[in-house]
């Protein structure tokens, strides 16, 4: 029987799909893992981890993982909800008036001036679940992709969040809010929402949450999210990781040991 009760035919299709990315040159290599019913049902490295040296991808190859700031920002929003300062169904226009009446493209690939009014207000839940209709330049298509690229071009990450939001608010949404999932700048917008609701810079807000800290965490705030890093005594490794695991909804922790210390980082 196939491990974890998975279909051998479907796993072959998965392998072929991942191999396709490699053969088309879209990625140098990939590692795919499927965990089901408490066991590993599929674990397949494909392609190269080092194209110059022609080294194959392996199961234990280390990767740089992006967007790990998003769970931190989302956790901060959930804390504001827990404190009754927000609700999942709260229209965000109460704090982000720039997004009170966005337009929506009739065709996600079409001209930017062919739009409809938004049918329902954007909510906190829409942002948390990436169903707000936002995109990135690399997830949008047609003229909207170019508009997103232009909106981000030249924007200093540590600059004024309101100016950044104003640029994003000038772009039409790809879809009606709540209608479908699409990966975009929704979590970035949540960061601005946190600043408006709390009256604090995003990094300062998170730094104030002592019950969500382990050891010493330093924050590097930006419009795009939050980077957390800290240096801890080696003897405190288990305590630090246990605290992080219990307080932040992040399952991946990168540890580098050097000179008797442990560095836990999320980026």
Return d(Cα 52, Cα 49) in angstroms, integer: 9
- As given in the structure block, the two tokens for residue 151 are 């909106």
CB neighbour list of residue 217: distance below 8 Å, 6 or more residues apart? 207, 228, 229, 230
Whether 209 contacts 79, CB under 8 Å: yes
Return d(Cα 195, Cα 128) in angstroms, integer: 16
Return d(Cα 26, Cα 179) in angstroms, integer: 30
Catalytic residues: 67
Residue 44's DSSP bridge partners are 32
Half-sphere CA count of 47, side-chain side, radius 13 A: 23
Return d(Cα 189, Cα 199) in angstroms, integer: 15
Half-sphere CA count of 53, side-chain side, radius 13 A: 5
CB neighbour list of residue 100: distance below 8 Å, 6 or more residues apart? 93, 121
Whether 99 contacts 151, CB under 8 Å: no
Closest by CA position to 139, among listed 102, 85, 186: 186
Closest by CA position to 136, among listed 188, 97, 93, 63: 188
């Amino acid at each position: 029987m196939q491990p974890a009760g998975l279909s051998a035919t479907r796993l072959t299709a998965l392998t072929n799909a991942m191999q396709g990315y490699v053969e088309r040159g879209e990625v140098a290599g990939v590692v795919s893992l499927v965990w089901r019913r408490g066991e590993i049902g599929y674990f397949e490295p494909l392609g190269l981890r080092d194209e110059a040296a022609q080294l194959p991808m392996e199961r234990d190859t280390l990767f740089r993982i992006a967007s790990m700031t998003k769970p931190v920002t989302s956790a901060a929003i959930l804390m504001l909800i827990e404190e009754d300062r927000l609700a999942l169904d709260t229209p965000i226009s109460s704090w982000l008036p720039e997004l009170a009446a966005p337009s929506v493209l009739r065709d996600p690939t079409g001209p930017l001036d062919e739009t409809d009014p938004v049918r329902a207000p954007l909510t906190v839940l829409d942002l948390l679940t990436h169903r707000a209709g936002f995109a990135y330049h690399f997830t949008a298509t047609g003229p909207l992709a170019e508009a997103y690229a232009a909106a981000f071009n030249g924007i200093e990450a540590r600059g004024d969040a309101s100016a950044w939001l104003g640029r994003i608010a000038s772009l039409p949404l790809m879809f009606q809010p709540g209608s479908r999932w699409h990966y975009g700048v929704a979590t970035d917008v949540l960061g601005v929402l946190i600043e408006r609701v709390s009256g604090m810079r995003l990094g300062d807000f998170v730094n104030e949450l002592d019950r969500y800290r382990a050891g010493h965490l330093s924050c590097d705030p930006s419009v795009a999210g939050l980077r957390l890093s800290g240096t801890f005594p080696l003897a405190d490794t288990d305590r630090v990781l246990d605290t992080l695991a219990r307080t932040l909804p992040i399952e991946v922790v990168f540890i580098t040991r050097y000179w008797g210390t442990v560095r836990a980082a999320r980026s």
